[in-house]
Amino acid sequence: MSTYITKRLIYTLVILLAASLLIFCLYALTPGDFISGNIKLSPERRAELRAIYGLDQPILERYFTWMNHALQGDFGDSLAQQQPVLKLFKDYVWNSFLLAIVSTFLTWLIAVVIGVVAAYKQYSWFDTLVMIGIFAAMSIPSFFIGLFLIKILAVDLKWLPPGGMMTTGSNATGLAYFKEVIHHMALPVIVMTLLGVGSLTRYFRSNMIDVIKQDYIRTARAKGMSERKVLFTHALRNALLPAITLVGFELPALFGGSLIIEKIFNWPGIGQLYMQSFSLRDYPLLMGFTMFMAILTVIGTLLSDLLYHVADPRVKLQ
Amino acid sequence: MTTVLSIEHLSTHFSTEEGTVKAVDDISFQVRRGETVCIVGESGCGKSITAMSIMGLIEGPSGRIIEGIIDFDERDLLKLSKHEIRNLRGNDMAMIFQEPMSSLNPVLTIGEQIVEPLIIHQKLSKKVAHQRAIELITEVGIARAEHIVKSYPHELSGGMLQRIMIAIAISCQPKLLIADEPTTALDVTIQAQILDLLRKFKDESGMSILLITHDLGVVAEMADYVIVMYSGKVVEEGEVEALFNHPKHPYTQGLLKSKPVIHERQDELYSIPGQVPSPLELTPSCYFHDRCEHCMSICKAEEPALKDIVPQQKVACWLYEEAVVHV
Amino acid sequence: MSSMSRELSTQNNSPRIPVRSSIWKQSFRQLVRNKLAMSGLAVVIVMFIACFVGPLFSPYSSNRIHMNIMNHAPNARHWLGTDALGRDVLTRVLQAGRISLTVGLASMMLSVFIGALLGAIAGYYRGIIDQIIMRIADLLLTIPSLPLLFIFGALLSEWKVPTDYRMYIVMIMLAIIGWPGLARMVRGQMLSLREREFMQAATVLGLSNHRKLFYHLLPNIVPLLIVIATLNIGGAILSESVLSFFGLGVMPPTATWGNMIDAANNMLDFQNRPWLWIPPGLSIFVTVIAINVFGDGLRDVLDPKKKR
């Protein structure tokens, strides 16, 4: 077990190192930067700034400098905001997390319940309806459904605010603050849930259908157990088991924010921060973000793997 | 002897894309107390579907019991509510299956799976049920029961798992145990042990066994009474001695002839010519007619009824109908 | 007892329902019976015909500017209204569909080709080749795809790639993002297939590697590939639309469904002229849902493990 984990960890680190090099080179290749994008600067001032930020050095040298700092927990300062990248992440990440955790929870809840019921009533009209809903949810362009719902629910009907986390100029505190945030997050949460629920429901439905056909379900019925017990103690456990691997894969989405949704709904999360910085070519922040996502991805994968081994009694680590 | 199970005119059909399959087609038989009845036949002859029909495990919407009476312990199972039949399942009638490896839930421990019927039917507390589970494991001949109770199915061999299945089945002292090919998936030496175990429990408790098999060796070993099925029909039934010594139906004769007998080696083993007809293409006839060496014109046109020929033996074959003129 | 037990030998090995035709024909027949899948296919075909043939019958040339009919709401002459330059929106939606559908289809084919080839090679030859291919795939899968696509898009803009060529480069970008997942799956299939009995039989027969790979292994994963490929078209269309919406994919004046929705970034158009951005959005939705429904029907027929 421990040798397995050690091996996995080493491999993970190697992949991350390679990813960091790739990310760095990609951003370094991207022509134009924050300084040359600012037309107010004189050529002399530009050269000066370049030297300050080390942009006149060769790529590899810049990579090692960056990496060296990164290993010490310093991803540099954002050029546009003149603040450490990590501090900015800290300021924004919880807003992203709030949105993500609520919608992830809703997505899983809805997917499990609907998936189980649809599988149990396979081929019924309910199941057909669910299937159509699943396909619809899987086929929606995320930015379009965001815009569409803003147009209908916020602009036309004025039920919900079109974006942001707080009403502009509001300085509500306490309970009023909470209510305002909930009011603002309703629309993005609806959209994110809608986007995620299709494939997950389908996943649970098909898992459950496979499980229901198994011999041990027949055995459980032959023992005289009630259908509810058969379904929820015998079948659901087996259907949920492979889903444990998905928990790890949710990790990047939980902390990394959603670029598209946060941009559309003007939500002050880490994804929107990225989108803003992208148009400004604020490289330290962009690299920091991409690296952050890569780290979350590999940790998530590792986590999935370990969780699966812990959860399934059949799988033994070698 | 009193009758535990009496089946009358049972028909179970499955609707498929190609048409209706009459998996079980108007069959009747009885199982008496303390008796072992074997249903024999090739795969697809409807023997397993018969078992599932009795247990109320036919799954809709494609499968449906069309008509008939399943009289168990003086109650017609087909008239009971789902709740009532659930109270019988695993309690008064229990079942074990062909594949012990896949018949136990892989994510639950052996103990968790044994205690379930004890808690549901016998209303035992968790603690008492757990103790009883350990006793049951010991009774089915597995050592270190305290350890086994905590293990998962994948940690046990097929033979052990089938013993566990038997432990679950007998846990509530059922009146009837249905065993659907209980030894088919096991090694030959293990097969004998499992059969011995079943016989031991039958003798101890006086329960009846409905044993479904295609293995004539198992039949010879276990049966008091034999029912031969072919294409969803009972073609012959009788006491095991009579049936083995004097098979009447050409199909039964073929089955027995195709069984190798030691010391009587033949150059070529007998096999019944032809194949089982497609269940979708059946017309009123004796379904065995195109494989039968005694086929007559009436066999192709009309279905023979199951009739007493000699005491304790019934056969459905035109050869034994006196009214028919042999052509 | 053991000497007595023997299975009933009644020459019952052949299936009872005679095989009437090849597996492909049978699958096709099964597919035709699936009403949902067939309606999906019908929608896809109608969409293709409308986009590729439709504009030829439109009386409005898409790129001509008409100052006198700017921003008209949908009416009898312009069913979906006109945009800020007086162009007929319906004609533009159909022409945008050409690009979106082409990009979706082409990038799918490219990524399936790369993914299947590399995955098959990795799974078949194993060893060092496998290591190299799969490590690259792992690396690409580690970096989130949207930032990766954004960087590529930004590169395109900075390199001043002519707009006419951008769509081809967008295809390549999407293929680069798409192949690793596919390769991983094909490799997994190959690894399990090569352990099967029929491959051992092929080895016993002394067949060459090349023959084993192309005649015995690849045909076995073709059904799965067809299913994945179909479902991937939808994904590629969605990705393209996101990129183009953010101005990093195909750029105006070449219209795609994605960059037409860009109109919604203008407050006035967003609030008052929904006919500019809702039709392309609905087109994406309808096309992708139809492809997904059809792909799922295909999966039911071709992938025995995933039977509903």
More confident residue, C130 or A245: C130
pLDDT at position C163 is 75
- How far away is chain C from the Cα of B263, in angstroms, using its nearest Cα? 11
A9 touches chain C (CB under 8 A): no
Q: Looking at this protein, which amino acid is placed at residue B93? A: M
pLDDT band at C14 (very low <50, low <70, confident <90, very high): very low
Contacts of C284 in chain A (CB under 8 A): 141, 144
Query: Which of B240, B253, B306, B231 has its CA nearest to residue B50?
Result: B231
Of A151, A286, A294, the CB nearest to C274: A151
Low-confidence ranges of chain B (pLDDT < 50): 325-327
Inter-chain touch B218–C5, beta carbons under 8 Å: yes
What average pLDDT does the segment A133-138 reach? 92
**ipTM of this complex prediction, to 2 decimal places:** 0.86
Residue keyed to tokens 């495990």 = B57
Contacts of A232 in chain B (CB under 8 A): none
How confident is the prediction for chain A on average, in pLDDT? 85
What domain range includes position C248? 35-49+82-306
On the question of a cis peptide bond just before residue C253, with omega within 30 degrees of 0, the verdict is: yes
pLDDT at position C306 is 47
pLDDT at position A101 is 93
Yes or no: say if A54 and A62 are a contact pair by the CB < 8 Å rule.
yes
Q: Which domains does chain A have, with CATH numbers?
A: 88-281 (1.10.3720.10)
C1 touches chain B (CB under 8 A): yes
Residue C213 has pLDDT above 80, yes or no: no
B88 touches chain A (CB under 8 A): yes
3-state secondary structure A148-200: HHHHHHHHHCCCCCCCCCCCCCCCCCHHHHHHHHHHHHHHHHHHHHHHHHHHH
A147 touches chain C (CB under 8 A): yes
More confident residue, C218 or A125: A125
- Indicate the pTM of the whole model: 0.82
pLDDT at position C4 is 38
A166 touches chain C (CB under 8 A): no
In a domain, C149, yes or no: yes
Inter-chain touch B217–C16, beta carbons under 8 Å: no
Residue C62 has pLDDT above 70, yes or no: no
For residue A284, what are its two tokens? Answer: 């330290």
Q: What is the pLDDT of residues C47-60, one digit of tens each?
A: 999 888 877 777 76
Q: What is the pLDDT of residues C17-41, one digit of tens each?
A: 444 456 777 778 888 888 888 999 9
How many domains does chain C contain in total? 1
Residues of C numbered 195-254 whose beta carbons fall under 8 angstroms of chain B's beta carbons: which are they?
A: none
pLDDT at position A34 is 65
Residue C205 CA to its chain's centroid (Å): 38
In a domain, C24, yes or no: no
Q: What is the pLDDT of residues C75-132, one digit of tens each?
A: 777 777 777 776 788 888 888 899 999 999 999 999 999 999 899 888 888 889 998 9
Residue A3 has pLDDT above 90, yes or no: no
Question: Which CATH number is B3-92+172-320 given?
Answer: 3.40.50.300
Task: Let me know if A292 is exposed, middle or buried by CB neighbors in 10 A (0-12, 13-18, 19+).
Answer: buried
Long-range contacts of residues B133-136, Cβ cutoff 8 Å, at least 24 apart: B133/B167, B133/B171, B136/B167, B136/B168, B136/B170, B136/B171
Radius of gyration of chain A (CA): 24
Residue C1 has pLDDT above 60, yes or no: no
Residue B238's φ and ψ, nearest 5 degrees, are: 175, 175
Q: Looking at this protein, which amino acid is placed at residue B204? A: E
C80: Cβ–Cβ under 8 A, 6 or more apart, which residues?
A: C74, C88, C89, C90, C93, C275, C279
- How far away is chain A from the Cα of C53, in angstroms, using its nearest Cα? 25
pLDDT at position B51 is 92
Question: CA A277 to CA A37: how far, in whole Å?
Answer: 12
pLDDT at position A253 is 84
- How far away is chain B from the Cα of C258, in angstroms, using its nearest Cα? 43
For residue A267, what are its two tokens? Answer: 């939500």
Bridge-partner residues for B12, per DSSP?
B24, B65
Residue keyed to tokens 């690296």 = A291
In a domain, C26, yes or no: no
What average pLDDT does the segment C223-235 reach? 87
In a domain, C56, yes or no: no
Least confident residue range of A79-83, A201-205, C275-279:
A79-83
Residues of C numbered 4-63 whose beta carbons fall under 8 angstroms of chain B's beta carbons: which are they?
A: 4-12, 14, 16-17, 33
Of B217, B271, B275, the CB nearest to C1: B217
Report the percentage of chain C scoring pLDDT > 70: 87
More confident residue, A199 or C126: A199
A123 touches chain B (CB under 8 A): yes
C281 touches chain A (CB under 8 A): yes
Residue C289: CATH number of its domain: 1.10.3720.10
pLDDT at position A71 is 82
What average pLDDT does the segment A255-271 reach? 88
Could you tell me which chains touch chain A, where touching means 3 or more CB pairs under 8 A? B, C
Residue C5 has pLDDT above 70, yes or no: no
Contacts of A23 in chain C (CB under 8 A): 143
Question: CA C118 to CA C121: how far, in whole Å?
Answer: 5
C155 touches chain A (CB under 8 A): yes
Question: CA B190 to CA B178: how far, in whole Å?
Answer: 19
pLDDT band at C247 (very low <50, low <70, confident <90, very high): confident
pLDDT at position C2 is 39
B60 touches chain A (CB under 8 A): no
- How far away is chain B from the Cα of A238, in angstroms, using its nearest Cα? 7
For residue C170, what are its two tokens? Answer: 């967008």
Q: What is the pLDDT of residues A142-177, one digit of tens each?
A: 889 999 999 888 888 888 888 878 777 777 777 888
pLDDT band at A217 (very low <50, low <70, confident <90, very high): very high
Residue keyed to tokens 């005491």 = B311
What average pLDDT does the segment A182-205 reach? 92
Highest mean pLDDT pick, A20-29, A52-61, B205-214: B205-214
Of C158, C234, C245, the CB nearest to A139: C234
Domain spans in chain B, listed from the N-terminal domain onward: 3-92+172-320, 103-171
Inter-chain touch C151–A26, beta carbons under 8 Å: yes
In a domain, C245, yes or no: yes
Question: CA B2 to CA B100: how far, in whole Å?
Answer: 32
A220 touches chain B (CB under 8 A): yes
pLDDT at position A33 is 65
pLDDT at position C34 is 82
Residue of B nearest to A227 (CA): B86
Radius of gyration of chain B (CA): 21
Inter-chain touch C6–B260, beta carbons under 8 Å: yes
pLDDT at position A32 is 64
Residue A85 has pLDDT above 80, yes or no: yes
pLDDT at position B322 is 65
Of B44, B195, B271, the CB nearest to C9: B271
pLDDT at position C297 is 87
Question: CA A220 to CA A226: how far, in whole Å?
Answer: 9
Contacts of B107 in chain A (CB under 8 A): 237-238, 241, 312-313
In a domain, C281, yes or no: yes
Residue A130 has pLDDT above 90, yes or no: yes
- How far away is chain B from the Cα of C2, in angstroms, using its nearest Cα? 6
Measured on CA atoms in the order C161, C163, C165, C171, is the torsion positive or negative?
Answer: positive
Mutate to test the interface with C, among B187, B218, B259 (most CBs of C within 10 A): B259
Inter-chain touch C16–B262, beta carbons under 8 Å: no
Mutate to test the interface with C, among A11, A125, A140, A144 (most CBs of C within 10 A): A144
Q: How many helical (H) and strand (E) elements, i.e. helices and strands, does chain B have?
A: 12, 12
What average pLDDT does the segment C170-192 reach? 88
**Residue C57 CA neighbour count, 13 Å, CB half:** 6
In a domain, C15, yes or no: no
